Chains A and B, each alone.
Chain A
Amino acid sequence: MIPAAIILALAGICIYFYFDPSESALFPKCSFYCLTGLKCPGCGSQRAIHALLHGDLSTAVRFNAMMVVALPVVLLLCVGELVRTRRPELYLKLNSRWVIRAAFIVVTGWWIVRNLIGQ
């Protein structure tokens, strides 16, 4: 499970490093955006990852600011999942009520706000 995840992640990093999603037609467009014309919370993530892999933080923030903020949080939560049974008290801290609520509010809030301000 873990080796498979590492291989997938490395493959993804290579693809998003060498190909620019805003220039190549190969990358899938967001289904929500295609159907509604509105941006979903994840729109721009592929371009933002490409920018991040090239060390261009400001461009990444412009494509999807929330994704840039959420990435380290998601990585931390993944570590929490790996040590859940060995460090239950750490897992409880990482998955506390406020962390989960904040994640929910930030994701749904970003969904609404980015469509209002055109980000």
Chain B
Amino acid sequence: MLYWANINNVKVGPLEPGQLIAYGLTPETFVWRQGWQQWCKAKFVDEFIPWFGPDPRHTARPPMPSSYLPWALIVTILCCMPIGIVAIIYSSKVESRYASGDYIGSCKASEAARTWSIVGAVSGLLYCLFFGSIYLIQFIRLWH
């Protein structure tokens, strides 16, 4: 059977379903064939359905959300922050949830790992500023 298709506002046809797919037909594209009262989406037409097999772009998994493991380790080792351990635990949750197929849970763990890494880094920075100000005060006292 030959069909007409409305691909990107250009009417293409009359062609076979396979040829129309080569022209860029998608399941949402409107198609028409002789004798039909009106245009119909290709996904509802039996002859087109076998052509819409599982699309590798839709079935492929998104990449694993960032585990923030290097940041968690940097915070733990360089900022002397036990908070970094919490971030490492969340990094581990990013991986385990992603592996079990819980992508949204993995994203949440990723956000938590980032938050705890930032909390650790900021508290490390504040501590450095605190240490620096104490040193400065002592320095000024000695000066007088």
Contact = CB atoms under 8 A, between A and B. Distances in A.
Contacts of B96: 97
Contacts of A91: 63-64
Interface stretch (B13-21, B35-43, B46-54, B73-81): B73-81
Contact of A32 (B64, B82, B88, B135): B82
A103 interface: yes
Given A81-B66, A91-B64, A96-B95, A26 B88 contact: no
B64 A95 contact: yes
A100 B70 contact: no
Contact residues on B (Cβ < 8 Å of other chain), bracket: 20 to 34
B85 interface: yes
A96 B78 CA distance: 23
B64 A67 contact: no
Contacts of A43: 80
Interface stretch (B3-11, B23-31, B124-132): B124-132
Contacts of A104: 85, 88-89, 92
A53 interface: no
B63 A97 contact: no
Contact of A100 (B77, B95, B127): B95
Contacts of B64: 84, 88, 91-92, 95
B122 interface: no
Interface of B: 63-64, 66-70, 73-74, 76-82, 84-85, 88-89, 91-92, 94-96, 99, 127-128, 131-132, 135
Given A25-B135, A26-B132, A99-B69, 5 more contacts: A42-B81, A45-B77, A73-B73, A91-B63, A107-B88
7 contacts: A26-B135, A45-B77, A95-B67, A100-B91, A100-B95, A104-B85, A104-B92
